[in-house]
Structure 1
């Protein structure tokens, strides 16, 4: 078995872990708000025939500097799933497809282009990736996984937050979790080629740093950064903010914290939520509502919360997608053109299922439609 395949089998086990416990906590018929609309990636779709994006995950949507939407994908292959066959299978990450189609259109999301490609052709990865080897900074790197993207029309620049993955199967007191080595930022001034900066938010040796998986949302002069631990572990969710033109200056990040009597900015971060979080996704909707989505790894469900502002009280969880609808689900990224009206929440949901002997049976991303 190749090193790459061993690493991905570890990731498969983690991906299926949340769904595995769900049958004991939820029963068929549990109410949910979102419904499946369409599958967006796969060997049988034009994502493969046009750009060789077949087996892939995530699909994190964010607004590009020209107003259309970029979708960031993680580990991507020209085969249905990571382990092939055949091998090698053109492993890339991250990859971006783009669309200017509103997700609420009758046909749902339709991709029209890929980053770094003129028309049709193989979509390459956006930035350097160590691929089970020595990364750009001389450190061992299994892969690079995108967390979120953000753009700045003032400058035409785009930023991607990402994790440099140290391993997919790090032992711990609550079982195996993937371990990031650090979180980082990459930028592009042409919308195609991203450069990894030297900035690193280092993980701890015990994999408990709460600033590894980021989601970012700009409002006015500020970018609000919500973050959790890597590996879908139990732990806190933290909130920071930074002026949009100071994202490359770590000393400019302000924490949102509790001092014993009140909350305020410019303090050490205090958890705004605690739980077993998957990748978080936060977007400010057109009516000013802030919406949050993530995989609740204790129940195996994609859930949402809302708030009047990033530093306001968040509602309780609302179940959007259950593992009874989509086995092996994760992600749950909010499309920025979602609204608070009925059936106007658009979620990008990944599915990764496998047999008991670790052979994948599905690895793709779909669009779900629900209500906040």
Structure 2
């Protein structure tokens, strides 16, 4: 199928079409539940920095994809949706769209971001929050593509906004040309080889920015996908340009780094950088590693929590610290609660929060912040790094319009 496909796709991997050869990809469908088909563009001849083939705005939806529900398209009214923010009652509220055609950030015109997901945030140490997004799409004028194309596996936007009560403004982006956010970590965009590369966590150590990412080989059953490896990319110019360190690549092999393909960094002033890890997909437990911040790229320097203490160099010794299903995890210290807070999407696609006195636990019972009954198409839950008071701000994505919004929970 060519251009905008208003459908739900069981698997968005198929034979490339004429549109794929033009670099605009096939469907913007989802690898979620439901039926239908969609194609995955190779992006080999696409316009833009990384080609612009599309693996589907849900299927390649940043590794967060794979268990979508409903039609997926970054232009909501083409799906019969109005694109309005969820009208929630209670302690959690949707504050503002951050990306897409309905966002006050005007990301379509300013950055070429029509649809995207996730929103991995970290403090860059220089008064800004850097935000890495997953598979990103823009408007295209290619006649083979319809409205949606310009696929980039990941992009980065910057924010200095400290007043989150009315939204989160973006000041700039890593660009490859005026008004076009570039793909910061390249991917091959070849189904069965490497369909996309997705950031899963970020951290600043001194003047260097680090992103943990996963290389996705293929999308499997809903909520499950196959990765080649996880790795670390670094930037010394505030996220404008990134280098993948090949010594950090951690293959997805049983008994090894298979439980650390997706990451969540945590730094809390005790001299250690903690890394929570989960397997690729949405069904695994969370485990814990730690390393001295200056050694973040030294895989051999990591230690792993075995349930009672720390074991060096052996990721297979890591014990579960948060029982699954844990999906798209973020962890942060909260001053108001005087505890560590973890936030993620659970097995019912609800956003939940847990508290603990230590990174290794014990983690309390899950507290539902947004029920899937109220927003059945919501996923991802990334805590804003400057949010540590009684108002807890975080980012989440909806399948229906494939864009990111800022939410707030009153603790």
Tell me whether the two structures share a fold, i.e. TM-score over 0.5.
yes
Counterpart in the other structure of 1:15 = 67
1:219 aligns with 2:268: yes
Counterpart in the other structure of 2:233 = 186
Q: 1:49 aligns with which of 79, 85, 109?
A: 109
TM-score by length of 2: 0.74
Q: 1:290 aligns with which of 314, 317, 340?
A: 340
Count of aligned residue pairs for this structure pair: 331
- Indicate if the aligned counterparts of 2:251 and 2:257 stay in contact, CA closer than 8 A: no
| 2: CA distance, partners of 1:18 / 1:231 | 19
| 1: CA distance, partners of 2:111 / 2:256 | 35
Give the direction of change, closer, same or farther, for the CA distance of 1:157–1:246 in structure 2 (3 Å limit). same
Alignment map for 1:1-372 (pairs within 5 Å) = 1=1, 3=16, 4-5=25-26, 6-7=39-40, 8-9=55-56, 10-11=59-60, 14-16=66-68, 33-45=91-103, 46-79=106-139, 86=146, 89-105=149-165, 107-116=166-175, 121-132=179-190, 140-153=193-206, 156-169=207-220, 177-191=224-238, 192-198=240-246, 199-204=248-253, 209-220=258-269, 221-233=271-283, 235-258=284-307, 263-266=308-311, 268-286=317-335, 289-296=339-346, 298-341=347-390, 344-353=391-400, 362-372=401-411
Structure with the larger RCO, 1 or 2 (CA within 8 Å, 6+ apart): 1
Aligned Cα RMSD in Å? 2.9
**Structure 1: which 5+ residue stretches go unaligned?**
20-28, 134-138, 354-361
The offset of 1:87, in angstroms, is: 6.7
TM-score by length of 1: 0.81
Deviations 1:109-150 (A, max 9, x none): 1111112469x51111112221227xxxxx921011000110
**Structure 2: which 5+ residue stretches go unaligned?**
2-14, 17-24, 27-38, 41-54, 72-86
Counterpart in the other structure of 1:22 = none
- Indicate if the aligned counterparts of 1:333 and 1:348 stay in contact, CA closer than 8 A: yes
Deviations 1:307-362 (A, max 9, x none): 22212311211111122333311111000111241xx1111001113xxxxxxxx1
